[in-house]
Amino acid sequence: MVIGDEQSRLPDHQQLPIQPTPRSHRSSLRLDGVLPPGSRLHCVDGTKLRADSNKHKVVWAKNTKRYKQKVQQKINDVLVEIEQANAKEQEYYGDHNLEELGECSTLTSDDVKEQVQRLNDILQQAPPAPKPARPAGGRTAKALTEISTKLLPKLEYYEQQEKTLAGRNSYAKTDPAATVFLSKDGQLLPSYNLLIGTQHQFLVNYSLHQRRASESDAFPAHLRRLHSLVGRHPALVMGDSAFGSEENYALLSEHQIGNYLKYNTFHLEQKRKYRNNPYRKENFLHDAANDTYRCPQGGVLTLKQVRTVASTNGYNSIARSYQCSNCHDCPVATQCKRGDGNRTIYVNPTLDAYRAQARTNLNSDVGFALRKQRGIDVEPPFGDIKFNQAYTRCRLRGQEKVNIEIGLLSIAHNIKKVARWLN
């Protein structure tokens, strides 16, 4: 139990008032009488859409890194051999050796080209001599040929793969814009992550992404795209627990959008056994004056570290870690912690305040109605597209083309909805 109101930690302009309304048990597509007049509900959800690519032809980031390091090491070894065999090259570099000019792990194709060009210039400037008298020159020329024709192209190839990966863990060779995701049936398939926003089962916005955690990382771009399309932000946003990150909560607060995004432990908190677990960090007593926490056995957890965590979009969140001084003789240590060390908890006051706000909203009458509405608003479009239309795999390749393809599919879905309503 944390002493003090968690929501009071937010600035005044970020407080979102809860508007009590009668609870509705209807499961229809309209929430009139439940939501405040003029409210614009935006339901969001994501799904994986398989790309049009060969699942067996995949480039993995770990393999690319390992192969590149091997080539860099081989090039470095050859250059060291040249240095030892060629006295002219040693005079050219003076007191500097190749290790001082760059470690093999940071060796790039441009560095190798520069080194090869310098060594070739040295060989061309060397005076002619009988072949038996200059055996090192022949070995140097042969080594330079190996670098230029074999090792350098490989290094450039792996550098191009890293450029295509752009921080991802993989990509498909037949569609480099697709990333390999683990599907629900346990297969590793090149796919795209599709985020959609709906209102009354109409697709009003969509965005295509290449990363697995697009719900938490790409939601800001998704919301900006919606604003560019309709010229305003929605009044309320409803999403599942995948969207409940501090960055997303801060974005909703910045634009005064109702915070109805679930977080990863929301459904667990609905169970009394989980809420009453005395070993949850939320149930530890917090002494705000001394900035310490106290466990059920009386152990004091003091502040050990404050670190800043940056998201993919550059959003910085501050996490504070607290650790107990001694848990070795605690009789309930196996129930309170994992591992052999002392109990450590991580606290993010800003995120906790946003979650407290979302918890209050979701458990209100409006939140209860929205939680039922989300399932019948944003899920049916996925079911219609994937099951009814059997559209489980893209027909085109490349993110730009697939983005147009999804746009045409969304238009077709909306036209079908209008036709059904008119008939």
Q: Which of 197, 200, 236 is nearest to 39 (CA)?
A: 236
pLDDT of residue 170: 95
pLDDT of residue 102: 47
pLDDT of residue 122: 64
- C-alpha torsion 84→86→88→91, nearest 10: 0
Amino acid at 370: L
pLDDT of residue 312: 84
Query: How far is residue 249 CA from its own chain's centroid?
Result: 16
pLDDT of residue 123: 60
Q: Judge residue 146's burial from the number of C-beta atoms within 10 Å of its C-beta, 0-12 exposed, 13-18 middle, 19 or more buried.
A: middle
Q: Which helix (H) or strand (E) holds 206?
A: strand 202-209
| Beta strands in 9-57, from DSSP E residues, in sequence order | 41-50
State the DSSP string of 314-356: --EEEEEEEEES--TT-TTHHHH-SSSS--EEEE-HHHHHHHH
Q: Where are the alpha helices (DSSP H) in 255-299?
A: 272-275
Residue 93 neighbours by CB under 8 Å, 6+ apart: 83, 101
Q: Please state the domain extents for the chain.
A: 7-52+181-418, 62-171
pTM: 0.77
pLDDT of residue 285: 92
pLDDT of residue 263: 93
Identify the DSSP state of 131.
Answer: G
Q: Where are the alpha helices (DSSP H) in 52-185?
A: 61-85, 87-93, 98-101, 109-125, 135-146, 152-165
pLDDT of residue 8: 41
pLDDT of residue 64: 95
Strand partners, 345: 322
- Residue 69 and residue 35: Cα distance in Å, rounded? 58
pLDDT of residue 252: 94
Q: Judge residue 294's burial from the number of C-beta atoms within 10 Å of its C-beta, 0-12 exposed, 13-18 middle, 19 or more buried.
A: middle
Both structure tokens of 160: 């191009």
State the DSSP string of 109-127: HHHHHHHHHHHHHHHHHSP
Residue 16 neighbours by CB under 8 Å, 6+ apart: 253, 256, 258, 259, 357, 361
pLDDT of residue 215: 76
Cβ 192 vs Cβ 212: under 8 Å? no
pLDDT of residue 250: 94
pLDDT of residue 350: 93
Nearest-Å Rg of the Cα atoms of the chain is: 30
pLDDT of residue 138: 62
What are the pLDDT tens digits along the chain (423 aa)? 443 344 444 444 444 433 333 333 333 334 544 554 445 889 999 999 999 999 999 999 999 999 999 999 998 888 887 777 655 545 544 544 444 444 556 778 787 777 777 766 766 665 554 444 444 456 777 888 888 888 899 999 999 999 999 989 999 999 999 999 998 888 999 999 999 999 989 999 999 999 876 677 889 999 999 999 888 899 999 999 989 999 999 999 999 999 999 999 999 999 999 999 999 999 999 998 999 999 998 889 999 999 999 888 889 999 999 999 888 888 898 889 888 889 999 999 999 999 999 999 999 998 999 998 898 999 999 998 988 888 989 999 999 999 999 999 999 999 999 998 887
Residue 187 neighbours by CB under 8 Å, 6+ apart: 55
